[in-house]
Amino acid sequence: MNFFKSLMPRSLTSRILAMLSILIVVFLTTGLGLFYKNQMLQHIEEIQDSANMLIEVAAQAVEESVIIGDYDTIKRTLEKTLSRSPFKSAMFIDLSGGVIRLQAPKAPAGRAPAWIESEVAARLFDVNRPITIGGKDYGVMRLSFNAEKIAAELCTLVVQATVLAVLFLLTSLLLMGFMIKRSLAHLDKLHSYEAEIASGAVAAEAMLVADAPVEIQEAIKAVNRTAASMRNHFGQRIESLMNTLVQHKNALDEVSIVCEFSPSGRITYVNERFVSSAQRSRAELLALTIDEVWNGMYCATQPWQWTPEREVWNGEVRLSGRAGTDKWHQRTIIPILDDRGGVEKYICIDIDITDRIEFEVAILDNSRRQNLIALFGQQALTEENVRALGQLAALTAAQGLKMSKAALSVVDQVSHGVILSAEIGLTHDDIRRSYASQVSSRMGASTELAIISDGADDTYKLLTDDTVETHGIRSTLEVDISCRDVFKGVLGVYATTDYVFTREDVSYIQTLANLLAAALERDDAKKKLTHLAENDSLTTLPNRWFLNNYLHAAISRTASAPSAISVIFIDLDRFKTVNDTMGHSVGDELLIQASRRLEEYIDENSMVARLGGDEFSIVVTHPVYSASFIKSLAAHVVDAMEKPFNLRGQDIFVSASVGIANYPFDGDDAGVILKNADTAMYHAKKSGRNNFKFYNAEMNESAVKRLQTETLLRGALERDEFILHFQPKVSLADGSISGLEALLRWNHPSLGLVSPADFIPMLEETGLIIPVGEWVIRKVCETLKSWEDSHIRLVPIAINLSARQLQVKGLANIVKHILEEYGINPTLLEFELTESVLMIEPESAVEILRDIKSYGIGLSVDDFGTGYSSLAYLKRFPIDILKIDRMFIKDIMSNHEDEAITRAVIVLAHELDLKVIAEGVETFEQLELLVKHGCDQIQGYLFSRPVPRDECAAMIKSSRTLDIKFAEPDVA
């Protein structure tokens, strides 16, 4: 490609001529080629046609000659045919093969190229003509073409035509070249136009020549238009640029402090802002170097001095001016280079960033203070030691304001004494310790005030005048430490210079003071909560939680200082009765009085706590254990509680059961010691109350056994381990069985038959008595039903009702449903209740018992005479039978009083229309006496101990009777 480009002529004239030459040559060659070919074909065709005519003419002459055998004439005819003909040869061939052949003479002309000759020869064919006369053949006449000669003639023709064409072509090109060159010569006008422009004649225009071709005229016009447009366009641009430059310069002067100085540093130009910023006159500045304008220049914290450089310098500098105030400039120094690359001058552009820097410093200060506040806030939330917190507050105050002195003072809300003070850069003695009363209004009615207002503006000063003077303090900032308008103290910071505290400074110190106030408030609240958590609000004695901690701490101390610890567990006897009968407020009063009595036995080695309810405990720490001391203390406690308590004008008697356990003898853990003391107290209570017991290991074993039994008891009902025994009641009228008392028995697979005294109270305590009681009712009904079905005589069966059962709402309904379920006559059922059961909630008991009674079920009072023996309830309750307790029957023969009581009861019952049953009858003498006193029925081992159901059924079935016939008394 590059090769062809290199062949391309450089001038436009040459290029146009070359292009035209190529075009003409191509078209001329193609045209001539086609023309020559057509000419040749046409020429050959004409020759061939001519030959056909020629041979016909010649054939006629030959035919005439051949008939007569005139071969000479034939030969001459052939000769004539050949002359001036395109034939190479002419021949006559007779049928025998004889040939007359004549050759044309050689042509003098030159020969055509071989390819033309072969082309011609291929298109020319010999011309044959049979010589036939009257159907008889004499031979053949044949003419052969001279292809060389024809080709030579054609070639000559082509050469001549080609020469002519070439001449024509050359002439045309010369003419065209001349014309093109002449036309393009007009473009030279543009050269002179260019020269004019180059010489500075920017308004010049290229000259138009009238006879120039239209295209060139248009081109020159376009150049002129373009030049005019560019002149206009660039003129506007340059003007705009100049305006912009001026505006930028003005703008720069408005906001920037600009000067120019030589490479030696000498100032050569300053703008107005530079003059005013430097606080020097323009003339004065132009005589200085850049380093001499300000008293000192600093880059960050290092002194800064300008040094000649070839690079742009950029940075922030602090300038100390004449007036002593510092300013911050954002400085850019730009070297301006000359044509040789040397520094021609420097332009210094400063922007005053003093406000920004100060703002940044303020932000940083604020951020630092916020961090300090945050750190202090964290400490205020977590630090338990308020003294350390106060010290930290003073330190944080001093650090936040970058001052060397700070102090604070906090006063007690009640005593108004200084309870906390802290100081930084000062001594403890520098802070006021005594104050006058000018701030009494701030502190309430108290006259013992901690902080004084020294001035009329009610400003409180922590420091004495002497301190201020001694330390050279010139600026003070003090703020109140208060929370919810409660004044707690003062926090202050102090400067030894004249310092104007800003609003931010005050806010910072006040925030610290507020945080400290909140922390103090939290500390107070914590102390109050601790007090509440550790003390009983009723008696103000320490509570169980405090006692536990105290005990743990005391035990821990024994590791370093071996000692013994005694825990005295005190439980008031009959407190519940007082509470139930006289009301809770009276009970509370009793507890308070008991607390005061117990406190009288407390010294520095002991403490007393209320554990809850009517339980108290005294913990005594002995350097050396003294059993006698503890015994004495316990006895004093028992005695103190035995004395009457005057409650609401009444003397109320209660007592105390006291248990004692000692560390480390009775346990090595606070919980164990307390539990063992409780166990000992339980035994004291079991052994008759109003006494004290020392713990021993056996007590615990019984307690453990009790716990095991209780655990087993809980599953006994599901395991069907309960059974019923029945003890007959005997009518003293005829000695027959008049009724039965159902008695619950627990037959455990491994423990065997457990005593009712061991498990019945447990059922009561655990509440299991309710489901077990219902089971008993069902079982009794089932027994009655079974006996009825077996045609055994039915007698009423009595069931013991406990106090817990009587508290169950709907007991009457439950009983009714069970009776209906089994279809039992209600009169066959009796419920036995003790006096105490009836007295617990008499109102509800009356209602329930009346419902039960209304069904026809009998009611009896068990153990009559051992409790209240209130005659009133005999009237209130729908009772049918009184059962005289066995303790009266037991000694009825020997104790006159028992006999009298028994007799009185029988008489009383009969008078009230009640039946009487004597329990525990074991001898005939007892029986005889009871019969004598008119008792209705007896129950006891005399007739039968409690027996299993089947045995009892057999007894009834056999109609066993008691012989009650005695010898007739001696009746006078």
Partner 1 sequence: MTLRLTCKAFIIALSFGLSNVASAEDVKVYNFSPVNQYNLNLSASFWNPIIRYVSDKSGVNLTLKLGRTSSDTTSYVLAQEVDFAFTNHLFSPERDKMGWKVFGRRDAPPLEGQIVVPADSPIHSLAELEGQEVVYPGPEAFIAYKVTSAELVKKGINTSTVFAGNMDGAFSQLISGKAQAMGVNSQLVSGYTEREGKSFRVLWNSSLFNDLALMASPRVSQKELTAVADAFFNMQYDSEGSKILHDATELVHAPEPIKFIPATEADYASYRDFYNSAPANHK
Q: Which residues bind partner 1 (CB under 8 A)?
A: 52, 93, 95, 97, 125-126, 128-130, 132, 134-137, 139-140, 142
Contacts of 887 (CB under 8 A, 6+ apart): 865, 866, 898, 920
Could you tell me the smallest distance in angstroms from the CB atom of residue 68 to partner 1? 18
Q: How far is the C-alpha of 437 from the C-alpha of 414, rounded, in Å?
A: 15
- Whether residue 571 contacts residue 693, with contact meaning beta carbons closer than 8 Å, is answered with no
**Bridge pairing between strands 296-299 and 267-270:** unpaired
Helix axes 670-686, 697-714, angle to 10 degrees: 80
78-112 burial: b if 16+ Cβ within 10 Å, else e? beebbeebbbbbbbbbbeeeeebebebeeeeeeeb
Could you tell me the smallest distance in angstroms from the CB atom of residue 128 to partner 1? 3
Could you tell me the smallest distance in angstroms from the CB atom of residue 129 to partner 1? 6
**Can you read off the two tokens belonging to residue 731?**
């009518």
**Can you read off the two tokens belonging to residue 748?**
């455990």
**Can you read off the two tokens belonging to residue 869?**
């023996």
Residue number with CB closer to partner 1 (99 or 202): 99
Residue with tokens 């945080």: 515
Residue number with CB closer to partner 1 (125 or 653): 125
Q: How far is the C-alpha of 920 from the C-alpha of 766, rounded, in Å?
A: 29
Could you tell me the smallest distance in angstroms from the CB atom of residue 93 to partner 1? 4
Residue number with CB closer to partner 1 (135 or 341): 135
Helix axes 811-822, 769-789, angle to 10 degrees: 30
Could you tell me the smallest distance in angstroms from the CB atom of residue 36 to partner 1? 22
Greatest alpha-carbon span in the chain = 233
Could you tell me the smallest distance in angstroms from the CB atom of residue 59 to partner 1? 10
Residue number with CB closer to partner 1 (128 or 605): 128
3-class SS of residue 489: strand
Could you tell me the smallest distance in angstroms from the CB atom of residue 138 to partner 1? 9
Q: How far is the C-alpha of 471 from the C-alpha of 465, rounded, in Å?
A: 10
Q: Is the omega angle on the peptide bond into residue 664 within 30 degrees of 0, that is, cis?
A: yes
What is the Cβ-side half-sphere exposure of residue 483, based on CA atoms within 13 angstroms?
18
Q: How far is the C-alpha of 139 from the C-alpha of 97, rounded, in Å?
A: 9
Secondary structure of 360-414 as H, E, C letters:
HHHHHHHHHHHHHHHHHHHHHHHCCCHHHHHHHHHHHHHHHCCCCEEEEEEECCC
Residue number with CB closer to partner 1 (137 or 194): 137
Residue number with CB closer to partner 1 (137 or 891): 137
Residue number with CB closer to partner 1 (31 or 130): 130
Residue number with CB closer to partner 1 (128 or 279): 128
- Whether residue 875 contacts residue 894, with contact meaning beta carbons closer than 8 Å, is answered with no
Q: How far is the C-alpha of 348 from the C-alpha of 722, rounded, in Å?
A: 113
Beta bridge partners of 799: 742, 831
Q: How far is the C-alpha of 904 from the C-alpha of 899, rounded, in Å?
A: 8
Residue number with CB closer to partner 1 (33 or 130): 130
Of 125, 84, 121, 126, whose CA–CA distance to 101 is shortest?
126
Distance of CA 4 to the CA centre of its chain: 79
What is the gyration radius of the CA atoms in the chain, in angstroms? 74
Residue number with CB closer to partner 1 (97 or 200): 97
Q: Where are the beta strands (DSSP E) in 717-825?
A: 722-731, 737-748, 752-754, 797-800
Could you tell me the smallest distance in angstroms from the CB atom of residue 92 to partner 1? 10
Could you tell me the smallest distance in angstroms from the CB atom of residue 27 to partner 1? 31
Residue number with CB closer to partner 1 (123 or 903): 123
What is the residue-wise DSSP string for 259-299?
EEE-TTSBEEEE-HHHHHHHTS-HHHHTTSBGGGSSSEEEE
Could you tell me the smallest distance in angstroms from the CB atom of residue 127 to partner 1? 8
Q: Is the dihedral of CA 26, 29, 33, 35 positive or negative?
A: positive
Residue number with CB closer to partner 1 (93 or 219): 93
**Can you read off the two tokens belonging to residue 843?**
């109102």
Could you tell me the smallest distance in angstroms from the CB atom of residue 149 to partner 1? 20
Beta bridge partners of 407: 423, 492
Could you tell me the smallest distance in angstroms from the CB atom of residue 171 to partner 1? 42
Q: Where are the beta strands (DSSP E) in 865-966?
A: 881-884, 915-919, 937-939, 947-948
Could you tell me the smallest distance in angstroms from the CB atom of residue 186 to partner 1? 59
Residue number with CB closer to partner 1 (126 or 448): 126
Could you tell me the smallest distance in angstroms from the CB atom of residue 172 to partner 1? 40
Residue number with CB closer to partner 1 (57 or 202): 57
926-957 burial: b if 16+ Cβ within 10 Å, else e? bbebbeebebbbbbbebbbebbebeebbebbe
Could you tell me the smallest distance in angstroms from the CB atom of residue 64 to partner 1? 15
Residue number with CB closer to partner 1 (130 or 823): 130
Reduced to 3 DSSP states, what percent helix, strand and coil does the chain have, rounded to the nearest 5?
50, 20, 30
Q: How far is the C-alpha of 289 from the C-alpha of 279, rounded, in Å?
A: 15
Residue number with CB closer to partner 1 (66 or 784): 66
Residue number with CB closer to partner 1 (66 or 956): 66
- Whether residue 162 contacts residue 117, with contact meaning beta carbons closer than 8 Å, is answered with no
Residue number with CB closer to partner 1 (129 or 280): 129
3-class SS of residue 673: helix
Secondary structure of 601-626 as H, E, C letters:
CCCCCEEEEEEECCEEEEEEEECCCC
Could you tell me the smallest distance in angstroms from the CB atom of residue 91 to partner 1? 9
Could you tell me the smallest distance in angstroms from the CB atom of residue 55 to partner 1? 9
Could you tell me the smallest distance in angstroms from the CB atom of residue 37 to partner 1? 17
Ranges of H-type helices in 69-109: 71-82
